[in-house]
Amino acid sequence: MTPLAFTLIVFFAAIGAGGLGSLLGLGGGIIIIPVLTLLLKIDIRYAIGASIVSVIATSSGAAAAYVRERMTNLRLAMLLEVATTTGALTGAFVAGHLAVRWLYLIFGLVMAYSALAMFCNRHPLSATVVSHDRLADRLRLHDSYFDEAAGIEVSYRVTHTRLGFVLMYIAGVVSGLLGIGSGALKVPAMDLAMRLPIKVSTATSNFMIGVTAAASAGVYFARGDIDPFVAAPVAAGVLLGATIGSRLLSKLHSKRIRSVFVIVLMWVAVQMLWKGMR
Partner 1 sequence: MSAESQCLDMRKVHLVETVISHLLRFGVILSLAVVICGTVVSFIHHPEYLWSSPALQRLTTPGAVFPQTVSGVWHGVGKFEGQSIVLAGLLLLVATPVVRVAVSVLAFVYQKDRIFTLITLVVLGLLLLSFVLGKAEG
By CB under 8 A, name the binding residues for partner 1: 1-4, 6-7, 42-43, 45-46, 53, 56-57, 59-61, 63-65, 67-68, 70, 72, 74-75, 78-79, 81-82, 85-86, 88-89, 92-93, 96, 139, 210-211, 213-224, 226-233, 235-236, 239
Beta carbon nearer to partner 1, 170 or 252:
170
Beta carbon nearer to partner 1, 93 or 119:
93
Beta carbon nearer to partner 1, 95 or 105:
95
Give me the least distance between CB of 161 and partner 1, in Å please: 12
Beta carbon nearer to partner 1, 107 or 207:
207
From CA 255, how far away is CA 146, in angstroms rounded? 28
- 26 neighbors 118 (Cβ within 8 angstroms): yes
Give me the least distance between CB of 228 and partner 1, in Å please: 4
Beta carbon nearer to partner 1, 16 or 233:
233
Give me the least distance between CB of 57 and partner 1, in Å please: 6
Beta carbon nearer to partner 1, 164 or 233:
233
Name which of 110, 95, 94, 107 is nearest 37 in CA terms.
107
The set of residues, in sequence order, having a beta carbon less than 8 Å from that of 256 and lying 6+ positions away, is none
Give me the least distance between CB of 1 and partner 1, in Å please: 6
Residue 114, exposed/middle/buried by CB under 10 A (0-12, 13-18, 19+)?
buried
Give me the least distance between CB of 269 and partner 1, in Å please: 24
Host H or E run for residue 146: strand 143-147
Residue 152, exposed/middle/buried by CB under 10 A (0-12, 13-18, 19+)?
exposed
Number of H helices, E strands in the chain: 11, 2
Give me the least distance between CB of 213 and partner 1, in Å please: 7
Give me the least distance between CB of 146 and partner 1, in Å please: 12
From CA 29, how far away is CA 241, in angstroms rounded? 12
Name which of 28, 9, 37, 34 is nearest 264 in CA terms.
34
From CA 125, how far away is CA 143, in angstroms rounded? 17
Beta carbon nearer to partner 1, 112 or 164:
164
12 three-class SS = helix
